[in-house]
């Protein structure tokens, strides 16, 4: 009786672990399709002609991952995303509000800088910029909280940043500059190419194999203890 009870417990444990592994494998397949669509969208955006933001209204999230052209002036109210790396060096991403010609204000991720410093944009009265429109970040469990009073930012939160700069910002989205602009090379904007890893197929196979291994081990154990 005790042996049967132990066999039942081991079998249930193996089945539960196998089910969890299969679910994780299926989730990685879902992530694979999501990442593939994202990479395709970015590749198309980098190759396409930019849309002028003056012609875009409403919820701009429907235009995310599109190449966008903006004209206007930077506002000297800079923020710094941390930590961000470039060629192995730890630094920050410079985030600035940008006043568009039509009066709206959008956040712009201008690129990587080595240290926090004051950027005087008064000389840039009117500039044309190109970038990729992206949706504001979603904080995950491991991301620290932003500390606006210290100008310390770990992810882009439009509402918090709007309160910090004291302006109403275009909601939900920001513009990430790409290195196609007629500006100096600092801050260092992203290169116009897709460099996103897509390892979800390997992860899916790994979880699937673990599920099968647990089932096989359980089968062998049951055969030996019949």
pLDDT digits (tens, 9 = 90+) for 77-123: 899 998 888 888 898 999 999 999 989 999 999 999 888 876 666 55
pLDDT over 90 at 164, yes or no = yes
Q: How far apart are CA 162 and CA 164, in angstroms?
A: 5
The answer to which of 39-53, 102-116, 125-139, 144-158 has the lowest mean pLDDT is 39-53
pLDDT of residue 125: 74
Q: What would the mean pLDDT of 198-205 be, rounded to a whole number?
A: 86
Highest-scoring range by mean pLDDT, 63-72, 136-145, 196-205: 63-72
pLDDT of residue 118: 67
Closest CA to 191 of 46, 45, 74: 46
Highest-scoring range by mean pLDDT, 27-41, 141-155, 208-222: 141-155
pLDDT of residue 72: 92
The better pLDDT of the pair 129, 122 is held by: 129
**Sign of the alpha-carbon dihedral angle for 165, 166, 172, 177:** negative
> Domain extents for the chain?
2-37+200-224, 52-177
pLDDT band at 158 (very low <50, low <70, confident <90, very high): very high
pLDDT band at 188 (very low <50, low <70, confident <90, very high): confident
Q: What is the mean pLDDT of the chain?
A: 84
Q: Are 104 and 156 in contact (CB under 8 A)?
A: no
Q: What is the pTM of this model?
A: 0.70
pLDDT over 80 at 198, yes or no = no
Provide the 3-class DSSP secondary structure of residue 92.
strand
The answer to which of 48-52, 77-81, 174-178 has the lowest mean pLDDT is 48-52
Q: How far apart are CA 48 and CA 66, in angstroms?
A: 8
């Amino acid at each position: 009786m005790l042996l049967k009870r132990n066999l039942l417990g081991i079998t249930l444990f193996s089945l539960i672990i196998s089910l969890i592994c299969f679910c994780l494998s299926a989730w990685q397949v879902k992530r694979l399709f999501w990442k593939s669509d994202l990479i395709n969208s970015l590749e198309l955006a980098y190759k396409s002609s930019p849309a002028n933001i003056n012609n875009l209204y409403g919820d701009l999230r429907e235009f995310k991952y599109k190449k966008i052209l903006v004209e206007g002036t930077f506002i000297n109210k800079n923020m710094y995303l941390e930590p961000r790396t470039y060629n192995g060096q730890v630094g920050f991403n410079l985030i600035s509000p940008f006043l568009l010609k039509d009066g709206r204000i959008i956040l712009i991720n201008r690129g990587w800088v080595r240290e926090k410093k004051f950027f005087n944009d008064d000389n840039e009265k009117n500039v044309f910029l190109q970038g990729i429109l992206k949706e504001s970040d979603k904080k995950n469990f491991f991301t620290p909280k932003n500390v606006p009073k210290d100008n310390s930012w770990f992810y882009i939160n439009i509402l918090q940043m709007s309160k910090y700069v004291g302006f109403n910002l275009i909601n939900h989205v920001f513009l990430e500059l790409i290195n196609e602009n007629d500006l100096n090379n600092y801050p260092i904007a992203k290169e116009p190419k897709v460099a996103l890893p897509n390892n979800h197929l390997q992860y899916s196979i790994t979880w699937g194999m673990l599920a099968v291994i647990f089932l096989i081990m359980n089968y062998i154990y049951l055969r030996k203890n019949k």
